[in-house]
Amino acid sequence: MTKQNTGRRGGFWKGLALFFVGMLVLTAVLCALLWQALKRYEAGTPAAAMRRYLTQVQQQEYDQLYEASGFTPTEFTGKEEYIAYLKSLYDGQDLSQATFNQRTGGADGRRLYAVMANGSPIADLDVWQETENGPWQVRTHLDLDGWYEVLAPEDTDVWVNGVLLAPDEADTTLAPAYAGLPETIPGPQMTLYRVTGVLGEPDVTAESETGRCAVEQSDPEEGEDAPLGVYTVLLKPDRKTAETYTALAQQAAETYATFISKDTDRSVMLGQLVYGSEFHKRVASYNNIWYAEHTSHEFEDMEITDLLCYGENAFTCHVSFTYKVSRSGGREYEYPSQYDMAFLKTGGRWKLADLVTE
C-alpha cells in the first residue's frame, strides 16, 4: 500500500508540473501573439504614420515627401517652393520629441493635427486614409487660400517666384501718398497685382528701365479679405534727377517751416501747393498766430532721403532737419523736424501735393 500510494503521489506532482509548464508556454505564446498584434495596430495608427513622416523630415527626404504629397503645382509654387516651405517649417526643430494635437478644421474627411515642438505648434499635418482600412497617409497642411498684394509704379516689370506678372491682368490704383488730390487732377497710378497660389513668403523682384528696383514689405490692414502681405516696388531716380528733386524738396520744406513760424507769407506757401488738395485746404485755414515772436531763424542738418519716383511727374521723399529760432535776449530754441512730402508736376510746374509731419 505504501509503495502504491507513493507512486500515485509522484505521478500527480509530475502531471501538475507538466500542466503548469504547458500553461506557461501557452501564456508566452499568447503574449507574443498579442504583442505582435498590438505592434501591428500601433503601426497602423495616425500617430505612427505621423511619426514616420517626421522621421523622413529629419532625414531630409524632401524629394520623396514631395512625390508622396500629391501636391498640384500652381503658377507660383512648384517643387522647389514646396520643399523650401517644408524646410522653413522644420529645419532647426527637435522633432524627436514632437507630439501631436488633433485640431478642428480638417476638410474632405481628413484629420488635422498640430505638430508640437517644445510646447509650441510648428506645423499642421493632414492625415487620411485612401480606403476604409487602408494605411494612413500624411502630408504637411498647406494654406493656399490667401493672397498677396504687390504695388508697382507703371512701366515696371515685376516677378513673383521667378514668374513675370502680367500688367494687363492687374488693376491700377492711385499711389497712396496722393490720396488727398482733388478729383480734377489725376495723380500717379500704380499697378496693383493680386497674387494667389503662393506657398510661404513670396520672392518679389522688379526692374525698370534704369535697373533693378528695391521692394519693401509691409503689414496689411486688418479685414476679412485683407492680403497676407503687401509688397511695394520702390523706383529710385537716377543721380541727375535726384539732385533736382533734392533741391525742390529742400526749398519746399524750408518754405513750409518758415510759414509755420510766420516768416513766409501764406500766399507764398499756397502758391507752391496743388490747388484744391487736402493739404492746400489745411494750409489755407491754418492759424499760426500762436507762434512766438523771434528775431531770426536758420536750418541745420538738412537731409533728404527716400527719394522715390512715380513716373516722370511725381516723386516722394523724407526730409529731416533742425529748425533753430532766436528770440530777443539771445535765447535760442531748436525744433527737430521730420516731413514726408509728395510732389506732383502739374501745368508744367512742380507742386507740393501733400506733407505729413512726424
The answer to whether the beta carbons of residues 226 and 185 sit under 8 Å apart is no
pLDDT for position 219: 87
Per the listing, cell 529710385 goes with 236
Q: Is the pLDDT of residue 217 over 60?
A: yes
User: The CATH number of 239-357 is which of 2.60.120.10, 3.50.50.60, 3.60.20.10, 3.10.450.50?
Assistant: 3.10.450.50
pLDDT for position 42: 45
Q: How confident is the model at residue 37 (pLDDT cuts 50, 70, 90)?
A: very low
pTM beyond 0.75: the answer is no
At 272-305, the pLDDT tens digits run 999 999 999 999 999 877 677 877 889 999 999 9
At 255-265, the pLDDT tens digits run 999 998 888 99
Class of domain 46-140: alpha beta
Mean pLDDT confidence for 27-41:
54
Helix H or strand E encompassing 194? strand 189-196
Mean pLDDT confidence for 309-337:
90
Query: Which of 91-105, 132-146, 244-258 ranks highest by mean pLDDT?
Result: 244-258
Residues of the chain with CATH 3.10.450.50: 239-357
Q: Is the pLDDT of residue 81 over 90?
A: yes
Secondary structure of residue 126 in the 3-state scheme: strand
At 103-159, the pLDDT tens digits run 887 777 789 999 999 889 999 999 998 888 888 999 999 988 889 999 999 889 999
Chain centroid, CA 12 distance in Å = 83
Contacts 24+ apart (CB under 8 A), 189-193: 189/154, 190/151, 190/152, 190/153, 190/154, 190/310, 191/151, 191/152, 191/153, 191/154, 191/156, 191/158, 191/167, 192/149, 192/150, 192/151, 193/149, 193/150, 193/151, 193/152, 193/158, 193/160, 193/165
pLDDT for position 235: 92
